[in-house]
Chains A and B, each alone.
Chain A
């Protein structure tokens, strides 16, 4: 039985019943989409098509159309890859780690955050694939029997670990998300009247019954998948960091990378969740389910992970000096004062200084400020990856190879394109899928609904005594 203190701010505001929860979340799916949705969708489609065009041009001409050169072999492509994977960390963290910690506030954001995760990981996976230049040989990353004397992929390589980590993460997140969606699709199936919608949701809901045994299994599956996904989340970004940490490049060869990357990923993931959810709650009038308290909880996660990231930056600097290795010391000094000083200080300002502002309660409970900060953090975390990748590479051991990286219009176009594709998927999701878990929100109504906390017409404290769960 779950009890909650009366002084705790309820997670569901307003006078809501079970019926209201269904109505509120299914309404945007049943009704007509507003004009702004169509407008945003059109803009996203145009940008996505532009991105696809850039990718086709790149595949047709060669990776040389990017600004890469002999010294800087990884730049925007891998920056974008790591940035997207990082964003993709919040969804499973929210649904898995917060489930294990029984944080009920996750119900307001978990569905949309998981969708964000899946789309972000798709965008991330695109970059290494197109970076190969020969997209159609992408399947070579898997250990498949072949005719090259049966030459296998190298299981010692962090790049192959990455293949396994990201494909496992993507498919497990997808399954986790869909298993949660099935009961909600059933709710929509049993409500909609349009014949086509009815048929589609009938297929999507897999014939869900909602009997006692099905729910019993549902809860165990959610719990065990959460238990499996939790170490998975931590492993994925650790392995992404191994791509750098196991190399011998000064600035990459750092044992601090795995925890630093994981907290950075959570940091940027929560920022992206805020960017998306603060708009979604307003557009879909879901303010009763996602309010200041939820935003405050998310901001607290941002302070914690942002501070870990800040400590990691400073530790890196300290160790580069303390190690006495001149290449290391130079790499870090060059980051802060070399030709890329602007990206370093952009990273420092956005990721280290700005999240500390959330220590002020007024600021972390302000929705406008949170939205603004989420954008700043997204930018800062992109710069973090840019700083790590490009500034470490642009000074080679031989000064004659020293160079400066300039992105071409294709670099920019592909990145913009992935943002476009991401938003196309996200807008479609928000239009046709329930953006909050209907069934799970109903489970917290009696323990954390405002009206139930106030007695629901039966006097204060009635439900504390009489509610069974």
Chain B
């Protein structure tokens, strides 16, 4: 059987949220939801795991701090110690106070850019990518629930259609892949 995707469109976020809750309660697997703005409370309903981008940012930040410490130590202590007003130039920790601002800035630089790049890659949003939302209106004022028939093989077609009908959608579309 060819995979069939059902797109049910709603004109209100609360109708969609209640609809999604109803469908999930009846055992339907909702594969995705498209909306013009973040819908709070939809993630646990349709089983979207919390993102681990925050952890990634922390790791990038840590990398930044380490790079800054290694780099400044090499340049200021090992390679060319500068004598500035007789300040200690032979050990990192005695000279450290005046290095802290750049440790901090470099940490933020790496964390922010690392996270941003990871975010764009994970979302597959890069310059020139084709738009992949099922309907152009989902970036305006419409909300779509995506249901794949392959994920809902345990429910009869008739019953699935009835369930979706009971959620108050305004338009419905089926695509075969």
Contacts and interface: CB of A to CB of B under 8 A. Distances in A.
Nearest to A20: B141
A217 B122 contact: yes
A440 B37 CA distance: 7
A232 B104 CA distance: 9
- For chain B, give the interface size range: 35 or more
Contacts, number: 224
Contacts of A443: 37-38, 40
Interface in B100-133: 101-102, 104-106, 108-109, 111-113, 115-116, 119-120, 122-133
Interface in A146-198: 149-156, 158, 160-161, 164-165, 167-168, 171-172, 175-176, 179, 182-183, 186-187, 189-191
Interface stretch (B1-9, B46-54, B149-157, B160-168): B46-54
A216 B51 contact: yes
Question: Which among A179, A190, A219 has the highest number of chain B CB atoms within 10 Å?
Answer: A190
Nearest to B102: A164
A394 interface: no
B36 interface: yes
B82 A156 contact: yes
B76 A207 contact: no
B105 A152 contact: no
A467 B14 CA distance: 6
B34 A468 contact: no
Contacts of A228: 57, 61, 108, 111-112
Interface string A52-78: 000000000000000000000000000
B32 A205 contact: no
Interface in A22-51: 22
A235 interface: yes
A216 B50 contact: yes
A187 B109 contact: no
Given A155-B98, A160-B102, A206-B126, A172 B108 contact: yes
Interface of A is mostly: helix
A143 B75 contact: yes
Interface in A186-245: 186-187, 189-191, 202-221, 223-225, 228-229, 231-232, 235, 239, 242
Given A175-B112, A228-B57, A239-B101, A207 B50 contact: no
Interface string B75-91: 11001101010010000
A172 B35 contact: no
A172 B113 contact: yes
B116 A209 contact: no
A466 interface: yes
Contact of A207 (B46, B112, B124, B136): B124
Contact of B34 (A153, A167, A187, A210): A210
B22 interface: no
B173 interface: no
B176 to A, nearest CB: 20
B102 A161 contact: yes
Given A206-B129, A209-B131, A215 B37 contact: yes
Contacts of B102: 155, 160-161, 164
A107 to B, nearest CB: 11
B72 interface: yes
A220 B105 contact: no
A364 interface: no
A154 B84 CA distance: 9
B131 A225 contact: no
A150 B140 contact: no
Contacts of B87: 156
A18 B140 contact: yes
B71 interface: yes
Nearest to A161: B101
A3 interface: no
20 contacts: A17-B141, A150-B80, A152-B80, A155-B98, A156-B95, A168-B106, A171-B113, A183-B36, A183-B37, A189-B131, A190-B131, A209-B131, A209-B133, A211-B32, A212-B43, A212-B48, A213-B123, A221-B119, A228-B112, A443-B37
* 4 interchain residue pairs of minimum CB distance: A207-B129, A190-B136, A18-B141, A206-B125
Given A212-B39, A217-B119, 14 more contacts: A156-B87, A156-B95, A164-B106, A172-B108, A202-B131, A206-B129, A211-B146, A212-B33, A215-B39, A216-B48, A221-B116, A224-B53, A232-B105, A466-B14
Interface of A: 1-2, 17-19, 22, 143, 149-156, 158, 160-161, 164-165, 167-168, 171-172, 175-176, 179, 182-183, 186-187, 189-191, 202-221, 223-225, 228-229, 231-232, 235, 239, 242, 438-440, 442-443, 446, 466-469
